[in-house]
């Protein structure tokens, strides 16, 4: 568990009309995702599995992920458990049938059926000018999460090296750093626009892999725990170790977690101080829409120790269409003096109603999450 000396404080969250992503038009996001899935020639990586195995990429994934877990345990003085005790709990959508006796060759071989969509919008609270760095935690408390992302070309089934993968998420109590807007924590705290925690960028190596050290994300009204990921295929590293403000997003998506894992994390501090209504995976309509067919955006994971408090290692391989690149219109520009709000933000900025989009058909068994939708300007404490 990653803790700092800072005491947890209560937050008042002003939730807009059905604001599943606080402060942005989630209906637009869902509509664009739906259009992409309806027209994409590929929506999963199932066709790449044999090619990746034949090219030795699967074997390298196994060795790399195993080494990362062993090194993480060594650094944290966590005794490596017998392989029979290693928790290989995968999300329940996987077909590999992991058990507590699963060996590392199976545990670390997964290539999830996930394709990042070439949307023209960038999701909530995107900040341009974030730093290229591996450790995103700063002063944030929560369950430490080591992440191994692998980018695969959906057409060639080859890893995609030398691109930049950007990740951002809310903190343990459901607040995004770097922006000020209704529905995102204490709007009276003007300093939040300068915060850079839980945001960062990493280049992919020759195996298409980018790694991050962060914390497990919390939840906010209407959404389950998730991490935003974006791939920049034509970006240039600037002298200040950012990609600058004039950059393009090639692909955008969200990574999710097993519900049992979310439940375990939510029982620990400071997650258990978050008073926003908890939305489960089954209640999250964006996850339901993004998991259609063979699409599988849930991360595989293993515990570093005997409980979630000891930290987690999670991994996800996903496909992108390298021919796509779209201009980004961020909510905030981060510079040397801190964050500056974009006066004309795109989809990534504050404002806009949320909720299940018109024309969206809920999957069988879907029920609205607690507290969703809310009446406009209803206040929820976190």
Residue 193 — pLDDT band, cuts 50, 70, 90? very high
Tokens standing for 301?
A: 């994971």
Entry pTM: 0.77
DSSP character at residue 21 = S
Q: Average pLDDT in the 146-165 region?
A: 91
pLDDT tens, position by position, 200-230: 999 999 989 999 999 999 998 888 999 999 9
Residue 122 — pLDDT band, cuts 50, 70, 90? low
Q: What is the structure's pLDDT at 329? A: 82
Q: Average model confidence (pLDDT) for the chain?
A: 74
3-state secondary structure of 200: strand
Contact of 236 with 244, CB cutoff 8 Å: yes
Contact of 172 with 246, CB cutoff 8 Å: no
Question: In terms of Cα–Cα distance, which of 123, 195, 207, 102 is closest to 166?
Answer: 123
pLDDT tens, position by position, 223-276: 899 999 999 988 999 999 999 998 888 778 889 999 999 999 999 999 999 998
Strand duo 326-327 + 164-168: pairing: unpaired
CA distances from 57 to 107, 146, 206, 220, 248 (A): 15, 21, 11, 37, 28
Q: Check pLDDT > 60 for residue 297.
A: yes
Q: Check pLDDT > 60 for residue 358.
A: no
Distance CA 31, CA 289 (A): 10
Q: Check pLDDT > 80 for residue 2.
A: no
pLDDT tens, position by position, 54-94: 777 777 887 788 888 888 888 888 764 433 332 233 433 23
């Amino acid at each position: 568990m990653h803790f700092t000396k800072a005491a947890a404080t209560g937050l008042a969250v002003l939730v807009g009309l059905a604001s599943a992503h606080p402060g942005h038009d989630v209906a637009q996001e869902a509509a664009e995702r739906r259009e992409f899935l309806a027209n994409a020639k590929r929506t999963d990586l199932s066709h790449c599995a044999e090619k990746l195995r034949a090219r030795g990429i699967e074997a390298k994934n196994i060795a790399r992920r195993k080494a990362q877990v062993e090194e993480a345990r060594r650094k944290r003085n966590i005794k490596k458990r017998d392989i029979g005790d290693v928790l290989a709990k995968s999300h329940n959508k996987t077909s590999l049938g992991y058990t507590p006796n699963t060996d590392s060759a199976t545990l670390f071989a997964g290539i999830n059926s996930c394709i990042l969509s070439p949307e023209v919008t960038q999701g909530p609270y995107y900040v341009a000018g974030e730093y290229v760095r591996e450790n995103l935690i700063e002063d944030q408390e929560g369950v430490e999460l080591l992440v191994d992302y692998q980018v695969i070309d959906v057409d060639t089934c080859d890893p995609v090296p030398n691109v930049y993968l950007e990740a951002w998420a809310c903190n343990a109590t459901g607040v995004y750093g770097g922006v000020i807007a209704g529905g995102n924590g204490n709007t009276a705290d003007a300093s939040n626009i300068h915060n850079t925690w839980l945001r960062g960028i990493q280049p992919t190596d020759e195996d298409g892999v980018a790694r991050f050290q962060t914390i497990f994300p919390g939840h906010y009204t209407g959404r389950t725990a998730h991490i935003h990921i974006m791939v920049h295929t034509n970006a240039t590293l600037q002298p200040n170790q950012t990609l600058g403000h004039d950059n393009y997003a090639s692909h955008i998506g969200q990574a999710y977690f097993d519900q049992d894992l979310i439940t375990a994390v939510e029982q620990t501090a400071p997650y258990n101080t978050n008073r926003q209504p908890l939305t489960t995976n089954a209640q999250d309509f964006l996850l339901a829409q993004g998991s259609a067919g063979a699409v599988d955006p849930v991360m595989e994971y293993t515990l570093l120790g005997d409980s979630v408090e000891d930290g987690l290692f999670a991994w996800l391989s996903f496909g992108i269409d390298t021919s796509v690149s779209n201009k980004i219109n961020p909510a905030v520009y981060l510079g040397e003096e801190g964050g500056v709000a974009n006066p004309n933000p795109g989809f990534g900025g504050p404002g806009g109603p949320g909720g299940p989009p018109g024309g969206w058909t809920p999957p069988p068994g879907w029920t609205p999450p607690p507290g969703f939708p809310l009446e406009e300007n209803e206040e929820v404490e976190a």
